[in-house]
Every structure is written in C-alpha cells, then in structure tokens.
Amino acid sequence: MSRELDALLRQRDVEDIVLSPSGLSCYRLGRWEGPHPSPLCESASLRRLAQGIAETASLQLGLTQPSVDTYVELVEGQLFRAHVAITPLVARGPEITLRRLPEAGRFRLEDFCRDAALLARLRDRIQGGASILVSGRTGSGKTSFLTACLAELPAHLRILVLEDSPELPIPNALSSKLLARPDRYGFRNGAAWGLAHLVFESLRMRPDRIVVGECRGAEAEGMAQALRTGHRGLLATIHAGSAAESFVRFAELAARPQATARGLGWDIGIQVGEIAPGRRGITEFLEVPA
C-alpha cells in the first residue's frame, strides 16, 4: 500500500475514498475533496489494486463479473467496505470506492440527539422493546446510528443481526449474525440466499431482537409478518426521504401498500442526516400513535 493511501485511511474524518482514472478523491466533513492526480490512479496501479481486492474475496474480476463488493482490513483494527468496478460496467476503467465502517463504541446515542429530552425518550424506547425503522439517504449515518442503538441493548438479550454485508457489530456473546449470499451474476458456485431467507431463519433461532441492516426488497414481507405475530424490538434501516415516507416504502416492499405504520407493527420512525459539516444526527423523530 502506498504511503499516500495509508495516510488517508488513518485519518478518521475521511469517510470515503474513490480511486479512478480521474484521480483520487475523499469525502470528509460533509464534502468531497478532489479528484487529485495520484500514482495510485494510473491504469496499471488501479488494475493491480482492483485485482488484489477481488482476490481477498476469492473472486476473479472479468467480463462475467465486472464488480466486487467486499470487506478489507486496510488499517489494523479498521474495516473498510471495498467496491470495485471495471469495464464494461464503468466507461473509463477501474474505479475503487473505499468506505470506512462504523467502529464499535465510536458512535454513542447522544451523538445523534439534539437534546437530553430526546436522548432520554429514545433510550427508554429502545430498551423497552420498541420496533424502530431508521431512514435516510445513502451516507446519511443510518448504519452508524443503528450501531449506537445496538450499544444501548442489555447484555442479557439475544440479538440476531441480519445483513447482506457485514457492517454492524455483534452486540454481545449471546447474539449472532446471519449473512446473505447473493449471486448477482449467476456464475458463482454453490447456493445463494437473500435477506428474506435470513428473516425466516432468524425466527427459529429464539431471538429477543432482530436487526436488519438494510431493508430494500422481499425481506420486508417476512419482517412485516414477524411484527404482526408479536416479535417486538425489530430494528432496521431503509432508504427514504422522511420518516413518514419510510413507512410507505416499507409497506410497498412488504406487498401491503394500504397498511399503516401501526398496522405494520412499527412504533417509531427516525430520519437521520447531516446536521452540521461532518456530523450526522436525528432530523425527525416520529412516534406512531397507538
């Protein structure tokens, strides 16, 4: 690894790094910097780095698999999500995106709350078993907020974390994580399963709480069924423009477009976003009427 990239990876305020034929860019404190010319972004260097990342996932980049999404420990103790795309998926050549994942213990619930009253209310509802749907755009802090929520849960609870990419921490020794195995291109050997399958598996594993890293498809139907049949304390994120819109989108994904948030079983909707340069927080806190 070059000194330039290593230095950027060690700067905790750098959230994302993009290497492409245009140069090196990084996202910090709410804005993009670059692209800047870099030896890392020369064609041969990009190809070597792209292939190296693919090999860590035991995959081979090529015509039938022009992208790889994996996780690499580029700095000791710090995991990064690495996405690689090559032609013909991208027009100009290899493009590598590195995203710093939330570190356990780095984000606290109070970091997201505007005042002590909101913090106390939210903490009480999380520990009391409320089912919470967290919404926001890409990069809004949904995963970081969910990480902070997990830290609030009692150590005697069995929590099952369901993800298609391992970003959330396992909160205690009683708990576990189930991972989806997608097969986007249809050429990978072995079986494939998605989040929808993991939801049904988790219901048979005696969870006290179920946490879904991101709801965006058929898994919503299983989540809605779990909520309707008495499973409390479900936590999930979803892409939406507001807390109210998150319930509408979830209902559509769950094939129940006319259902209300209460009918679906949700207790709270929380929208997160940027409230100051480089700082994410709760922009909307919506309690569903009983």
pLDDT digits (tens, 9 = 90+) for 179-217: 887 666 555 555 677 888 889 889 888 999 999 999 988
Give the Å distances, CA to CA, from 32 to 6, 65, 101, 239, 277. 18, 29, 18, 22, 11
Question: Both 229 and 154 in a single domain?
Answer: yes
Tell me what the mean pLDDT of segment 170-178 comes to: 90
Q: How confident is the model at residue 161 (pLDDT cuts 50, 70, 90)?
A: very high
Question: Both 58 and 19 in a single domain?
Answer: yes
Question: Both 174 and 230 in a single domain?
Answer: yes
Domain residues for the domain of 74 are: 3-100
Q: What is the CATH number of the domain that holds 83?
A: 3.30.450.90
Query: Counting runs of H as helices and runs of E as strands, what totals does the chain give?
Result: 8, 13
* Domain boundary pick from 60, 75, 100: 100
Strand partners, 238: 135
Flag the least confident range among 92-106, 124-138, 165-179, 253-267: 92-106
Question: Both 59 and 166 in a single domain?
Answer: no
Q: 213, 143 in Cβ contact below 8 A?
A: yes
Question: Both 191 and 128 in a single domain?
Answer: yes
The whole-angstrom separation of Cα 63 and Cα 228 is: 44
Question: Both 153 and 271 in a single domain?
Answer: yes
Q: What is the CATH number of the domain that holds 248?
A: 3.40.50.300
Question: Both 173 and 214 in a single domain?
Answer: yes
Question: Both 77 and 125 in a single domain?
Answer: no
Give the pLDDT confidence of 17-62 residue by residue, as tens digits: 999 999 999 998 878 898 999 998 998 999 999 998 888 877 778 8
CB-CB neighbours of 49 under 10 Å: 20
Strand partners, 271: 135, 284
Query: CA angle, corner 218, sides to 245 and 281, nearest 5?
Result: 40
Question: Both 142 and 197 in a single domain?
Answer: yes
**For residue 26, with 0-12 CB atoms within 10 Å meaning exposed, 13-18 middle and 19 or more buried, which class applies?**
buried
Tell me what the mean pLDDT of segment 101-105 comes to: 67
Question: Both 86 and 125 in a single domain?
Answer: no
Give the Å distances, CA to CA, from 221 to 61, 104, 184, 208, 239. 34, 30, 21, 19, 16
Q: What is the pLDDT of residue 70?
A: 83
Give the Å distances, CA to CA, from 228 to 5, 221, 225, 234. 48, 11, 5, 11
Question: Both 264 and 160 in a single domain?
Answer: yes
Question: Both 90 and 172 in a single domain?
Answer: no
* Domain boundary pick from 100, 121, 154: 100
**For residue 236, with 0-12 CB atoms within 10 Å meaning exposed, 13-18 middle and 19 or more buried, which class applies?**
buried
Between 118 and 59, whose confidence is greater?
A: 118
Q: How many domains does the chain have?
A: 2
* Domain boundary pick from 100, 120, 142: 100
Q: Please, what's the b/e burial string for 164-189 (b: 16 or more CB within 10 A of its CB; e: otherwise)? A: bbbbbbbbeeebebbebeeeeeeeee
The whole-angstrom separation of Cα 94 and Cα 42 is: 10
